[in-house]
Amino acid sequence: MTTNSPVALITGGTTGIGHATAKLLHARGWNVLVTGRDPDTLEKARNTLPSGVVVLPADARSPEDAARVADELKQRFGRVDFVYLNAGVSRMAPLEALDEAFFDEIFGVNVKGALFTLQKVLPLIPNGGSVLLTTAVGIAKGAPNYAVATASKGATAALVPPLAAELAPKGIRVNAIKPGPIDTPAFAKLGLPEEVGAGFRALMPQKIPVGRMGTPEEVAEVAAFLASPAARFVNGTVVDVDGGMATAF
Ligand SMILES: NC(=O)c1ccc[n+]([C@@H]2O[C@H](COP(=O)([O-])OP(=O)(O)OC[C@H]3O[C@@H](n4cnc5c(N)ncnc54)[C@H](OP(=O)(O)O)[C@@H]3O)[C@@H](O)[C@H]2O)c1
């Protein structure tokens, strides 16, 4: 990559959708920096992403870590053109089993983390840059045991209109992707007993009009479009990438 190449930050870029987007943007000539928290997935990402991609440990819940990520971007590239706030956790539990730690973990990553990461890197986003938040098809559907994760993704979607309005004068676009069920490691992290998790996953294709789950690469293509100048008139919106799930009867 050259110093003239655009720069992307992808939080949670060590697996799944973020990992696929890092690969795609790198192949299209971007400088890419991804973050993650788990030492094992960080190490795997270093081995599976192209060597030019910077892989940085940073806990998405921590504004201090976000400030460190901003420093790293400033020192390496001097700016960040595309901020993909993709890091997310999704866990299921019945209402009776919820506690504050469960709530704080999910809202800490999905809502607080996204907002404060954006705050820390904002000074580095030039006119013409863009931000992409991550919500989920679940905000339009009711799945039992999913109240906290669904509410966190509803809050994330609600960030889009005010942030788009606030950052438009700086020439920065703000959108979100609303994925349907995508085949990533996320399904193994729902906190369900193995058999129940497998049953939940197996149910998905029946709920999606195209009859299958999506791939991380299919979401990456949409993210890359929204990051590109071709999307310069797309602002303040939430884009469904769900095989028609949200609008199906
Ligand atoms: N897959 C789906 O069906 C689906 C549907 C709707 C929305 N989404 C959303 O899409 C986004 C990507 O999900 P995915 O399916 O690609 O899941 P994934 O493979 O589990 O990826 C999640 C990423 O977020 C990172 N992450 C989680 N907690 C973190 C923390 N505290 N600090 C830093 N990084 C953290 C993970 O890194 P570690 O390995 O270090 O934890 C990983 O890189 C998420 O926001 C998710 O909610 C996914």
Residue 226: which residues within 8 A CB-CB, separation 6 or more? Answer: 130, 132, 175, 177, 234, 239
The residue among 214, 190, 216 whose CA lies nearest residue 19 is: 216
Which of 182, 201, 241, 242 to probe ligand 1 with, by most ligand atoms within 8 A of CB?
Answer: 182
Distance (Å) from CA 90 to ligand 1 centroid: 8
Q: Identify the domain containing residue 157 by its residue range.
A: 7-241
User: What's the pLDDT tens digit per position in 153-209?
Assistant: 999 999 999 999 999 999 999 999 999 999 999 988 999 888 888 888 888 999 999
Q: Report if residue 124 sits inside a domain.
A: yes
Residue 147: which residues within 8 A CB-CB, separation 6 or more? Answer: 95, 98
Q: Report if residue 188 sits inside a domain.
A: yes
Residue 244: which residues within 8 A CB-CB, separation 6 or more? Answer: 208, 209, 210
Number of domains in the chain: 1
Q: Report if residue 2 sits inside a domain.
A: no
Q: How many Cβ atoms from other residues are within 10 Å of residue 67's Cβ?
A: 16
Distance (Å) from CA 71 to ligand 1 centroid: 23
Q: Report if residue 61 sits inside a domain.
A: yes
Q: Report if residue 249 sits inside a domain.
A: no
188 lines ligand 1 (CB under 6 A): no
Q: How far apart are CA 205 and CA 85, in angstroms?
A: 27
Q: Report if residue 247 sits inside a domain.
A: no
For tokens 């890197």, what's the residue? 121
Predicted local confidence at residue 2, as pLDDT: 58
- Predicted TM-score of the model (pTM): 0.98
179 lines ligand 1 (CB under 6 A): yes
Q: What is the CATH number of the domain that holds 227?
A: 3.40.50.720
User: What's the pLDDT tens digit per position in 4-36?
Assistant: 899 999 999 999 999 999 999 999 999 999 999
Which of 9, 10, 11, 14 to probe ligand 1 with, by most ligand atoms within 8 A of CB?
Answer: 14
31 lines ligand 1 (CB under 6 A): no
Q: Report if residue 17 sits inside a domain.
A: yes
Sign of CA dihedral 158, 181, 84, 185: positive
Asked if residues 54 and 60 have their Cβ atoms less than 8 Å apart, the reply is no
85 lines ligand 1 (CB under 6 A): no
Label residue 1 by pLDDT band (50, 70, 90): low
Q: Report if residue 246 sits inside a domain.
A: no
For the chain, the average pLDDT equals 96
For a pLDDT cut of 70, what percent of the chain falls above it? 99
